[in-house]
Amino acid sequence: MVFAGQVAADRPDGGAPGPESATERIRVRYNGDDYSAEPIAKGAAYEIFSTEPGAGFLRNPRPGARKPYRRFVPAVEINVIEGRAPIPAEQPLSAPLSRNLSWSAVHALSQSRRNVDDELVARIRLSAKIFRGTRMVKVLSGRQLAGHLHGWLPQGFCYREFDVAHLRTPAELSVLRSDGDDGRADPVVFALRWRAIDPSDYQAPFAADFGGLVRMAPGDRLGSPVLGTGFAPSGQHVIPEFVTANLADLPLTAFAELVAYTDDGTEVVLYRYLPEQRAWGRMFGPQWRGLFAAVPGIAPEQEYFVIPPAPTRLMGRHHGAEYEAIADPPGEFRVLAKTRAARYAVESLSRRTPYLGWRRAPCTVVRDEGDWLRVRLVRPDIESITRLGAGCIERGIYEAWAPRAETAGYREVDIEYDLRNPAA
């Protein structure tokens, strides 16, 4: 990618120039043509503008825009030829391209289950890394959005925002849905966005570790099949996917967001997580209430959604005492406290997750209702889900209610994070 410094006279979207427009102007070259552009998702992708319609371009919804068409493209596919562009924080997926290995060949390798043990596929997939502070995304249906507003945590299949920031419409994002309606063209789709605390919280869904999901029959799963190559099924894109470690819940990070994407590519921040209040705070105005037509049981005018404590939580130590903690990665980790004076920085941090065994299957605990526990399979396969009578909640996630008296080996496992390592 080329970075050059040059100034512009008007706004990239064709609107009226503002006082800061001289420092905002960026021009990029994409597919041999030059466009004015704006970076999105901290430079992971670009919104490019055109006066003429073209393949892949959408209507620009900005009032009075002189360039009425726009398109979203990955940063790795464009060259910045004018202006100061942000340097993306993440590393792009890399492959040893040559005359014998084109990008279309890499796509074919990523989509074939015959390549689940291929060393080249694994090497390409593992070039997509997560660091402390990496922005993660999980695409949601209306039902899943309602679940997160009532306390669901990040779980299961997810993606680096860097790899999917150019997918902005419900049709484009449908390939990432996990609710079983990945082929449905809704006018709006939702997403959860948060920041990674540590790479150890995520795994690549290779067949060697998740063979049960790879072999799962269509009637026993929701969403797209799990290929076992570590890539999402897609006829067009090469998207590295991740799963939360052991398919367990992860604690929400400070200021996580629930967002909506409309059919013109507009992103609307709906709610932001307020960790001291343990609540989602509403961020959108009344003009967006129509987005909630497909969200069951949610009143869009409600300002706060207080969520209950979950079995999985962050724990930190301060001066030898243990407290529940808040993560604001990449650099801030502190005691959970409502008063500012008590928000001490923690000296150590860990994710505490309860595990147990039920009917010879290892599980995590996602809800504790006294005599009954809601458990989730760590390594789902057809035999274990049949033995437990587990249901598929979403792609890769199988849960059941277990009588506490029938379970064994209940224990809380602390996954320690190395806060001294800033490169984690």
Tell me the average pLDDT of the chain.
Answer: 91
Q: What is the pTM of this model?
A: 0.91
Span 25-48, average pLDDT:
94
Q: List the domain boundaries for the chain.
A: 21-82, 107-306, 354-411
Question: Which residue, among 22, 257, 1, has the nearest Cα to 11 in the 3D structure?
Answer: 22
Mean pLDDT in residue range 222-248: 95
In this prediction, what percent of the chain has a pLDDT beyond 90?
83
Predicted pLDDT at 184 = 63
Q: Could you tell me which residue, 338 or 252, shows the higher pLDDT?
A: 252
The predicted-structure confidence for 94-132, as pLDDT tens digits, reads as follows 999 888 899 899 999 999 988 887 899 999 999 999 999
DSSP run (H or E) holding 356? strand 348-358
Query: What is the arithmetic mean of pLDDT over 232-256?
Result: 96
pLDDT for position 3: 27
Cis preceding-peptide flag for 330 (omega within 30 of 0): yes
φ, ψ for residue 207 (rounded to 5)? -60, -30
pLDDT reading at 14 higher than 80: no
pLDDT at residue 421, rounded to an integer: 82
Higher pLDDT, residue 372 or 17: 372
Q: State the Cα–Cα distance between residues 424 and 422, nearest whole angstrom.
A: 6
Residue partners of 196: CB distance under 8 A and separation at least 6: 130, 131, 132, 133, 134, 135, 136, 202, 329
pLDDT at 17 over 50: no
pLDDT in tens, 196-209: 999 999 999 999 99
pLDDT of residue 185: 67
**What percent of the chain clears pLDDT 70, i.e. is strictly above it?**
93
Q: pLDDT at residue 7 above 80? A: no
> What integer pLDDT is reported at residue 117 of this predicted model?
79
The string of pLDDT tens digits covering residues 40-91 is: 999 999 999 999 998 899 999 999 889 999 999 999 999 999 998 888 889 9
The pLDDT of residue 10: 38
Neighbours of 101 (CB within 10 A): 14
Report the pLDDT averaged over residues 161-181. 93
Q: Tell me the pLDDT tens digit for each residue of 253-267.
A: 999 999 999 999 999
pLDDT exceeds 70 at position 4: no
Q: DSSP E strands: which ranges in 119-215?
A: 135-140, 157-160, 188-195, 202-203
The pLDDT tens digits of the residues spanning 214-234 come to 999 999 999 999 999 999 999
pLDDT tens, 297-317? 999 999 999 999 999 999 999
Query: Confidence class of residue 188 from pLDDT cuts 50, 70 and 90?
Result: very high
Q: Position of tokens 């993606």? A: 159
Other C-beta atoms lying within 10 Å of the C-beta of residue 139: 24
Statement: residue 21 has pLDDT above 90: no
**What are the residues whose beta carbons fall under 8 Å from the beta carbon of 82, sequence distance 6 or more?**
4, 6, 8, 25, 26, 27
CA nearest to 345, candidates 362, 328, 365: 328
Q: Which residue has the higher pLDDT, 179 or 13?
A: 179
